[in-house]
Every structure is written in C-alpha cells, then in structure tokens.
Structure 1
C-alpha cells in the first residue's frame, strides 16, 4: 500500500511538472504566444470538447445513472460563475473587464486537474499497470494545458508573473493536490460518486470550450483557426485511444 501511494504521488507530480514546463516555455516566448493566442484557443476548444464527448462523458455515464444531471450542473455552474465575475468584478472595475477570459478557463481546467488527481489514486490502487496506463493518457494533455491556461490569463489582462503563478496553481498544483486529498479516502469513494465528479468536470469543460473559447476565437477570424481546432480534436482522439 505504501509503494502504491508513492507511485501515485510521483506520477501526479510528474503531470504537474509537465504542465509547469508548458507554462515556463510559453512565458519565454510570450510575444509569439500572444500573436497566436487565437490558435491556442481553437486548439484548446478542440481538446476540451472532444475529450469530454469521446471519453469523460461516456465513462461517467457508465459509472452512474445520475451523470446527465451532474453534466448539466457542471455546465450551468460555470455559466453562473461567469455571470458573477462579469457583474461583480468586470463591470465594477473597468481595468479588469477581460479577466473573465482567463479566470473561467482556469477554473474549469483547475477543477478537472483536481479530478485527474483522484483518478491517479484510484488507478494505482486498482493495479500498478492500470495506473501507468492512466498516466500515459493524462500526461499527453498536460503540456498544452499549461500553455493554454497561461496564455488565456495574459489575454485576460493578468500580468505575466501573476499569470504564471495562477496558471501553475490552477492547472499544475491541483493534480498532486487531488491525489493527496483523495488517497486516504480511496476505499470510500464509490464508483457513482467518481462518475458524478467526472460528469461535473465534463460539463465545466464543455462550457469553457463551446461557449467561452470558440466564440472569442471566431471573432478574430484567423486564417488557420480551423486547422488549430482540428489539431485539438486529433490530440483528444490520441488521448482517448491511448487510454483505451
């Protein structure tokens, strides 16, 4: 049991390191990143929406009959959070009017990364082999996830240093945190509960991709935006196949 704990912790930290590398890399090339933010938004939308529909939603539906309800709750919870930020932060402080562009995706990605930490605990408890399979699939999306989170925060008006730390806390640190929180209770986390959490995160990710990222990307009408979107879909398919 002790070996299982340290293996799960090590791999969840690896996921956080890969995400952090994405954040560090894009900060070193900030000007290039800002010029191509629209492409990253399209790419992110492709990954988030496709991964949700192809993997997270079917998996959660198989785990609990209540998954559709939690999918709806996740979607509208993030919508209400968006409305709250717009009304009480952006409108009251004109200098922060674009903060929602970065905060909403960070919140959705952060919650999903926390659930990823739960999955590490559960997968390695089942078997070491199952855990490594889960690790292969999840680490694939960590690097671009760090890039996307950082760029959207900068796009929303965050200073570069602040954007780096917020991106790290939301997209990277939440994965080992989720593993540490869930591991002591792993034997008590029943399948329907995990299914509900997965469905909740899927609703949040679909909201981020479909109603937050894509509309803003379409406003700018970049020439190769459809190519970036297709690339995100392709990456999601690769992740799903690697987990199969």
Structure 2
C-alpha cells in the first residue's frame, strides 16, 4: 500500500487517541464533569452549530446543488428519530426517559466523526501536505468531542462504563473506520456525493445543538452558560480558520 494510505491511517488513529484521551480525562474527574455538565452542553452546542454554519454548510453547498435538501433531511430525520426514541423507549420505560439526551448527540457526533474519516482519505489522497494541513484543524475538536459525548450519555442515564464504550465507538473508533471504509473508493467519490454527506451531517449537528443541547442546558439556569456558549463559538471559529 502507498505511503499516503499509512499516513492517513496513522493520523485518523491519532485523532481517535485524542478523543479517547478526552473520554478518559472526564471519567477520571467525573465529579467535576457532572457539576459542570450544563456548561459542557452549552459549549458543545456552540461548537456544533457554529462549525456547521461557518464551515460544513458552505462547503457542502459549494460541492452539491442538492446540499440544502440533504441539510433538511438531516435536521428533520433527527427530529423523527428523537420522536421514535421518546415514544418507543422513553415513554415505555420511565427509567430511560432521558436516554434521548445522550443517544442523539452520540449518533450525530458519531456520523460526523465517520465522515471525518472520509475527509482524511480524500485529503491524503491529494497529497501528504494537504492531509497534514487538514489534520491540524480536525484534531482540535476531537478532545472536546470525547468529553461531551461521554458526559451527555452519563447524564441521560447510562452507566459510566457503558457511556465510555459508547462514546469511544461513536466519537473515536468511527474516524479510522470511516477512513478505512472510504479509502478503496476515494477515487470514485464525486464532489457532489461528498457535499451530500456533509450536508446530511451538518443537518444532524445543527439539530443536536439547537433543539437538543441548548434547551436542556437552559433548564439548569447556570450563571456562566452564555460564556460557555461563546467559548464554543470561538473554538469553532478557530477550527474553521485553521482549516482555511
């Protein structure tokens, strides 16, 4: 196999390690994490919504003229999935009434991380330099992704052990998996197809941030929640600028 394949694989594995480190860190300092979970939700919402509007959506629309349609599909698809989880899982088992709080962000972040693996393949297939430049920006958001995924799963009622494994699979392992799945067909993936995937991912992340995380965080009325939200927006802006 080519050197670019191994470089793409190693960097996607490095991203998974950074995410796993975030999960380990927040589990190691669990009490602190639980006390400040509202701030993490606001921060996560700021990152997800801002990154989608500042980077993913413009890029997706530039690649595919059907991007707006897939953006809508991603947004309302997650809404329907939320209704399904609420109706068939939460309402039938009161002990699981908050599961959707953790499951929806986990699925949204997991899909986004899987698409990140595609981006590693495409970037490194172009050139090693292009791949490394993309890696700088992408790895920046891996650490908080692991933290947020784990905290929301725990807060929604999953055990710490199960939350760790689910967060690892969704936010960490999905990136190298996406890279491995996409590499054999990277030469045949058209730009419009990538645009559709990015639009779908953006719709999912906007839904998770705007209609799921922010309303739940506002229920806790924490004093510095707007600061945390602004911090998320700032981090997203830095990520976008580093990729530019």
Shorter-chain TM-score above 0.5: yes
Map Cα deviations across residues 36-74 of structure 1 (whole Å, 9 max, x no partner).
000000000000000000000000010010000000000
1:69-218 to 2 correspondence within 5 Å? 69-218=69-218
Map Cα deviations across residues 77-106 of structure 1 (whole Å, 9 max, x no partner).
111111110000111111111111100000
Distance 1:58 1:104 in 2: 24
Tell me the CA shift for residue 114 of structure 1: 0.3
Tell me the CA shift for residue 209 of structure 1: 0.2
Distance 2:97 2:216 in 1: 14
Distance 2:194 2:48 in 1: 19
What is the TM-score with the length of structure 2 in the denominator?
Answer: 0.99
SS in 1 for 2:187: coil
Map Cα deviations across residues 4-61 of structure 1 (whole Å, 9 max, x no partner).
1100000000000000000000000111100100000000000000000000000001
Map Cα deviations across residues 143-202 of structure 1 (whole Å, 9 max, x no partner).
000000000000000000000000000000000000000000001100000000000000
* Alignment: residue pair count: 244
Distance 1:187 1:138 in 2: 22
Distance 2:84 2:9 in 1: 35
Distance 1:117 1:79 in 2: 25
Distance 1:123 1:70 in 2: 23
Gaps spanning 5+ residues in structure 1: where?
Answer: none
Gaps spanning 5+ residues in structure 2: where?
Answer: none
Distance 2:88 2:107 in 1: 17
Residue in 2 aligned with 1:67? Answer: 67
What is the TM-score with the length of structure 1 in the denominator?
Answer: 0.99
Computed over aligned residues only, the root mean square deviation of the Cα atoms, in angstroms, reads 0.6
2:18 matched to 1:18? yes
Distance 1:224 1:159 in 2: 28
Tell me the CA shift for residue 2 of structure 1: 1.2
Residue in 2 aligned with 1:48? Answer: 48
Residue in 1 aligned with 2:223? Answer: 223
